[in-house]
């Protein structure tokens, strides 16, 4: 059994609190992100030919449902470009290339304009962990691609703490696909058995690393999605304990 030399982190609801930007958006008088995405598609299409908002919403809802089916069933996350192409095809509409590029970028950068918050205690835990272990990020990209997620980490002063980045839009697969974890091991220069991964979803963040011989720590710091039934090697309920938990797995 390999000694742990590296820690990889899920991003959403592990390092960054998903949708913690929504109260900030509300305070600024902005629509929630799902509503803003649909508004944008309606706005861009309406420039060329009238279309009802109801039709746009229906097409968007259908594409979202298909995305989730592929994400969970096939461990693939469609890029924003692919998702919007599905929506437009369903509506039998097209946009000029330049406008399509603008629409994609507005979707991808939405969480950069009003940024979500870090999980409590994670910044200090990451900085302390980086003194002993190599660190990496393994994250599924839903709307924000790897490019934008790096910017979020940089904005919080954490980007330089990490030695590896595996984002689903860049690698072409999502957790728990073994390739996500073996790619991180390759970037980190370690064997998969020398990694412990931390995340909040048992199937993706615990069974995924277990599938390549790595360990998994289940985090409940942001949300507890099933700690009572997780197959994790350990559970982290407070990030002040994270490094000591990893150290104990090495004992």
CA angle 242, 77, 160 (to 5 degrees): 40
80 plus 65 within the same structural domain: yes
Phi/psi for 12 (5° steps) reads -75, 130
- The residue among 86, 113, 140 that closes a domain is 113
100 plus 158 within the same structural domain: no
Residues 208 and 215 sit within 8 Å (Cβ to Cβ)? no
Looking at residue 251, its pLDDT comes to 75
87 plus 174 within the same structural domain: no
Tens of pLDDT along the chain (251 residues)?
Answer: 569 999 999 999 999 999 999 999 999 999 999 999 999 999 999 999 999 999 999 999 999 999 999 999 999 999 999 999 999 999 999 999 999 999 999 999 999 999 999 999 999 999 999 999 999 999 999 999 999 999 999 999 999 999 999 999 999 999 999 999 999 999 999 999 999 999 999 999 999 999 999 999 999 999 999 999 999 999 999 999 999 999 999 87
- The residue among 113, 130, 153 that closes a domain is 113
In a domain, 92, yes or no: yes
Phi/psi for 14 (5° steps) reads -125, -55
The DSSP 8-state label assigned to residue 239 in this structure reads G
127 plus 173 within the same structural domain: yes
39 plus 83 within the same structural domain: yes
156 plus 234 within the same structural domain: yes
**Containing domain of residue 81, as a range?**
22-113
152 plus 102 within the same structural domain: no
pTM metric for this prediction: 0.94
In a domain, 1, yes or no: no
104 plus 138 within the same structural domain: no
The DSSP 8-state label assigned to residue 120 in this structure reads T
Q: Which residue has the tokens 């200090």?
A: 124
The DSSP 8-state label assigned to residue 16 in this structure reads B
As a whole number of angstroms, the distance between CA 132 and CA 74 comes to 35
Residues 226 and 244 sit within 8 Å (Cβ to Cβ)? no
- The residue among 47, 82, 113 that closes a domain is 113
Looking at residue 180, its pLDDT comes to 98
Element of type H or E holding 23: helix 22-27
151 plus 76 within the same structural domain: no
170 plus 153 within the same structural domain: yes
């Amino acid at each position: 059994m390999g000694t742990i030399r590296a820690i990889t982190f899920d991003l959403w609801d592990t390092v960054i609190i998903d949708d913690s930007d929504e109260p900030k958006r509300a305070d600024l008088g902005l629509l929630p992100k799902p509503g803003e995405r649909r508004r944008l598609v309606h706005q861009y299409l309406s420039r060329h030919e009238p279309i009802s908002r109801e039709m746009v919403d229906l097409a968007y809802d259908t594409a979202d449902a298909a995305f989730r089916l592929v994400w969970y069933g096939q461990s693939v996350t469609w890029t924003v470009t692919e998702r919007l192409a599905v929506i437009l095809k369903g509506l039998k509409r097209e946009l000029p290339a330049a406008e399509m590029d603008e629409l994609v970028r507005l979707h991808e950068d939405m969480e950069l304009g009003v940024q979500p918050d870090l999980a409590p205690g994670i910044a200090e835990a990451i900085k302390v962990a980086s003194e002993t272990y190599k660190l990496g990020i393994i994250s599924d990209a839903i709307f924000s691609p790897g490019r934008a997620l790096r910017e979020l980490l940089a904005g919080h002063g954490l980007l330089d703490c990490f030695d590896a980045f595996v984002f689903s839009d860049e690698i072409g697969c999502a957790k728990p696909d073994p390739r996500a974890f073996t790619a991180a091991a390759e970037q980190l220069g370690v064997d998969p058995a020398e990694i412990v991964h931390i995340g909040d979803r048992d199937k993706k963040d615990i069974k995924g690393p277990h599938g390549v011989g790595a360990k998994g720590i289940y985090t409940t710091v942001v949300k507890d999605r099933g700690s009572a039934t997780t197959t994790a090697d350990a559970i982290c309920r407070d990030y002040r304990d994270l490094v000591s938990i990893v150290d104990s797995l090495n004992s």
